[in-house]
């Protein structure tokens, strides 16, 4: 019996173990998402010349940056929000607040829940939340799945429901999904990325490694398209929104979870901050939060809430104020800050 058992176990190990073991070793050696070693990979700049362009996890980047630089700089001013805050400049905000030491803590596809978790993280890590600017997208209420892509997985430091092994397991699975692994391997062999169309390396669906040229046409490089092919830009951005649209009220999503999260955000801000402001950004698609959702925000934030989503004069100018349907450009960010904080004092 024992001999048979030992033989079976030995054979089973020879059959089953080599492949997952090799895959694990390869992942650890390559660290494709820059999640395993060295903060340098996490801090990899957006315009990296890396031959295979893999998007980084901005939530983790924000967390690592905060942990690294807060002891030195003692930040007291925070900008929080989703990818739309990419152009909300910490320097511009600093010009409007006396003694501000600003830090931009952002994570793409941010839901109300992940915003609450980030604020909790900052509070529990002793951040000085004297000044806080929260920028909400009109659809913030409907974003409920912050962990849907590798750029937006909340790291365990922020998300108490996730452990580091679970976090790395998600990346490991993402790397070895068929399309991802295939295009990554081919691009490594060829020395350049293969064609791909996806924005991010999604962990739930097979996606391909990004091609910088494709990326150039997407989110942050829309300017390039506007310069080189205004007609295509117009088709892609402008013509998707009906010209006669006035306001597009999004469906209500004031469920119990969202309301509890909003209440917790308001609690943290009232407890820790002398000066907090919450603004809802206008979108080119003229999307506005449902009036029920807006009522919830007003109830908890009161006069601290600035709703720009209905500022239709801003949404009329697509080319200079917007990148796409949701994402605005720096001049609009400055105009909103002027409206909330007044003109620069420095």
Partner 1 sequence: MLFNSAVFVLFFALVFVIYWRVLGNKFRYQNVFLLCASMLFYGWWDWRFLFLILFTIATTYSTAILAERSHARLWTTLNVVVNVTILFVFKYFNFFRENALAVLNSLGLYPDWFTIDVLLPVGISFYTFQAIGYSIDVYRGEIKAERNIVSFALFISFFPQLVAGPIENARSLLPQINSPRRLDQSEVVLGMRQALWGLIKKVLVADACAFRVDEAFADPQAVMSQSGFRLAYIVVLFSIQIYCDFSGYCDIARGSARCLGIRLMHNFNNPYFSRNVQEFWRRWNISLMRWFTNYIYIPMGGSRRSNIRTYANLMIVFALSGLWHGASWNFVIWGLYWGIIMVCYRLWRNITGRSKAKLSAELPGCYTPMMSVTLFFALIGWAIFRCSGVDQVVYVVSSITLPLAAAIAALVFATWLMQSLYNNGYRWVVRAVSTLIIAGILALFVINPIESLYNIFRIYAVAVFAIEWYYRNDEFTLQRMPSNRWLRYSLYWLAIFMILTNSYDDVQFIYFQF
Q: Residue length, the chain? A: 346
| 39, 176, 234, 275: which one binds partner 1 (CB under 8 A) | 176
Binding flag, residue 7, partner 1 (CB under 8 A): yes
Residue with tokens 């092919």: 229
| CA distances (Å), origin 282, targets 102, 139, 242, 303 | 23, 11, 16, 18
| 192, 204, 240, 245: which one binds partner 1 (CB under 8 A) | 204
Cα Rg, the chain, nearest whole Å? 23
Residue with tokens 């020879």: 14
Smallest gap from Cβ 218 to partner 1, in A, equals: 21
CA distance 142 to 326: 14
The window from 9-17, 222-230, 256-264, 328-336 that contacts partner 1 (CB under 8 A) reads 9-17
Which of these, 323, 318, 325, lies nearest to 217 by C-alpha position?
323
Smallest gap from Cβ 18 to partner 1, in A, equals: 6
Which of these, 277, 292, 55, 96, lies nearest to 180 by C-alpha position?
55
Binding flag, residue 228, partner 1 (CB under 8 A): no
CA distance 93 to 75: 13
Binding flag, residue 227, partner 1 (CB under 8 A): no
The window from 5-13, 208-216, 261-269, 283-291 that contacts partner 1 (CB under 8 A) reads 5-13
| CA distances (Å), origin 177, targets 150, 185, 240, 293 | 13, 12, 32, 37
Q: DSSP assignment, residue 127?
A: -
Smallest gap from Cβ 221 to partner 1, in A, equals: 26
Smallest gap from Cβ 302 to partner 1, in A, equals: 37
Smallest gap from Cβ 57 to partner 1, in A, equals: 18
Binding flag, residue 256, partner 1 (CB under 8 A): no
Site for partner 1 in 135-164 (CB under 8 A): none
Smallest gap from Cβ 217 to partner 1, in A, equals: 21
Binding flag, residue 10, partner 1 (CB under 8 A): no
| 8 A C-beta contact, residue 246 and residue 282 | no
Binding interface with partner 1 (CB under 8 A): 1-2, 4-5, 7-9, 11-12, 14-16, 18-20, 23, 173-174, 176-178, 181, 203-206
């Amino acid at each position: 019996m024992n001999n048979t058992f030992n033989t079976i176990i030995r054979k089973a190990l020879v059959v089953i173990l080599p492949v997952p073991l090799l895959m694990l070793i390869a992942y650890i050696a390559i660290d494709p998402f820059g999640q395993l070693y060295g903060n340098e990979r996490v801090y990899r700049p957006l315009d990296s010349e890396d031959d295979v362009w893999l998007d980084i996890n901005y939530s983790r980047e924000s967390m690592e940056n905060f942990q690294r630089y807060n002891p030195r700089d003692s930040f007291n001013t925070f900008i929080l929000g989703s990818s739309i805050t990419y152009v909300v400049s910490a320097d511009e905000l600093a010009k409007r607040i006396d003694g501000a030491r600003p830090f931009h803590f952002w994570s793409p596809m941010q839901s109300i829940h992940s915003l609450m978790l980030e604020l909790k993280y900052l509070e529990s890590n002793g951040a000085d939340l004297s000044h806080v600017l929260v920028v909400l997208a009109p659809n913030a209420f409907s974003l409920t799945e912050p962990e849907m892509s590798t750029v937006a997985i909340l790291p365990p430091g922020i998300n108490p429901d996730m452990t580091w092994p679970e976090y790395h397991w998600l990346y490991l699975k993402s790397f070895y999904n068929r399309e991802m692994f295939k295009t990554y391997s081919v691009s490594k062999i060829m020395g350049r990325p293969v064609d791909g169309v996806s924005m991010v390396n999604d962990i739930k669906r097979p996606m391909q490694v990004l091609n910088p040229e494709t990326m150039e046409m997407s989110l942050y490089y829309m300017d390039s398209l506007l310069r080189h092919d205004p007609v295509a830009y117009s088709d892609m951005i402008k013509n998707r929104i009906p010209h006669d649209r006035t306001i597009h009220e999004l469906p209500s999503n004031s469920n119990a979870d969202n309301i509890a999260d909003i209440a917790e955000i308001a609690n943290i801000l009232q407890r820790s901050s002398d000066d907090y402001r919450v603004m809802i950004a206008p979108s080119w698609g003229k999307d506005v939060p449902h009036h029920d959702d807006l009522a919830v925000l007003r109830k908890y934030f009161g006069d601290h809430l600035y709703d720009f989503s209905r500022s239709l004069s801003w949404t009329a100018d697509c080319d200079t104020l917007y990148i796409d349907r949701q994402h605005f450009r720096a001049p609009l960010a400055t105009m909103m800050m002027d409206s909330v904080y007044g003109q620069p004092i420095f």
